[in-house]
Structure 1
Amino acid sequence: MPLYNQAAFMQQHRTFNEEQGTTMNRKIIATIASVLLIFGVSACSESSTTSNDAPTSTSSSSKQNAEAKKKASEKKKQEAKEKQALKTAKTTLSNKITEAHSLLDSSNNNVADPQTRVDLTNAINTATAFTGSDSAEYNQAANSLQKAMDTVTASVKQKNQNDAAAAAAAAAQAAQQAQAAQQAQAQSRSAAPQQSSNQGGTGSLYATCRDGSQSVSRPGAPNYQGMCSHHGGIAQKLGLR
């Protein structure tokens, strides 16, 4: 090969190799850039996800804490309410026992049915010995005691009504007896000249008995003996008729 041709060939070969090398380098650089770009996007995505998840987790934890505090506060309020209710129930039962003792004393010999006072005494003893930790149980004990007290109160009322009725009946009987006595006195005054023994007479002796009835002797009876014997005795001698 002529010398100039060989030199030209070498120059062309060098130029080709340079061009191939440049092309290869560009491809490598492009590939590296693509890989770096992919990794960069992935990192940004992960960072963004982590950043977004953090507030959500914090918000959820805060909400749980708030709910826990709310439940604790409600529980505390409920316990305080139950404690106050128990205290009130104990006081109510204690006051009711005092009232029951007073009623038991005032109703002595003043009830229509004495058994009601016995039942009240038993109820007082039961209520006094009662112990518990629930307000509803104390309220129930107080209600049971109140029922026994109501029974005694009703028996006292019945006794008062019975006494009033008996007093009215006695008054009516007394009035009737007084009226009979007045009638007997009037008849005695009208028959005064004949209020003597019927000795030797043929008429009958008349008398007003204590129960208001009249008694007549057999004709010719000498005196009033035996008259009104079954009617409480003689209230007024009316004389001979």
Structure 2
Amino acid sequence: MYIFLSMLAVTDLGLLTATMPTILGIFLFNSREISLDACFAQLFFIHLFSFIESSVLLLMAFDRFVAICNPLRYAAILTLPRIPKMGLMVVLRSVVLTFPLPFLLKRFQYCRDNVLSHSYCLYSEVVKAACSDFTVNIISGLCVRILTMRLDSFLIFLSYVMILKTVLNIASHKECLRVLNTCVSHLCAILLFYISDIGLALTHRFENSSSYFFQILLGYVNLLVPPMINPTVYSVKSKHLRVRIIRAFVK
């Protein structure tokens, strides 16, 4: 569990690092422009770390699934050498699926309205500024999203269906609640990540009917709130982390 938490923390840090330069540039230096190449680089890293975070949440759901549904084989399935390999596969998958995105955008000429809705670059926003037909880019972006975040969310849902089925078969009500309590932090992280992502996607889909202020607010919430809240959620729910943090502050 702590190895997966470390993966989540590194991914959140990477997502903040990719997002913060343009946000700080606006608020601290009133810098409101970004070059096309810098925009492509930023959207690559934002989408890369978003896809990695989605996959890490899936690995954490698998961890909970094995721990609750097959606890006797937990140590045999999730061995220490196997967990880093799983993390490496997650990173490789995300890199392979994200790598083509900037090159698909680079082949276009941009002559339309180049004002972005957010203070950072997203694929769905940049592609709309292209002059020529971008249908292929829309389809490819949709396929990448389906193969990453949508597939991950579906598998997470299935894992929790199996977990709930196992938990409901536990006779003791107290024991049932104790088992479910081990999943609370992970469920909070999932809800923070996917609800904000779905909300942002819906505002882009119905941008004409949603207010401009709401689009900007949801854009900040989507990329900044989950990385900032996740450490708090896990620190509060994990006794070992809570004790270590209190001890550090007391010293």
TM normalised by structure 1 equals 0.27
Rg larger in 1 or in 2? 1
TM normalised by structure 2 equals 0.26
Higher share of residues assigned helix:
2
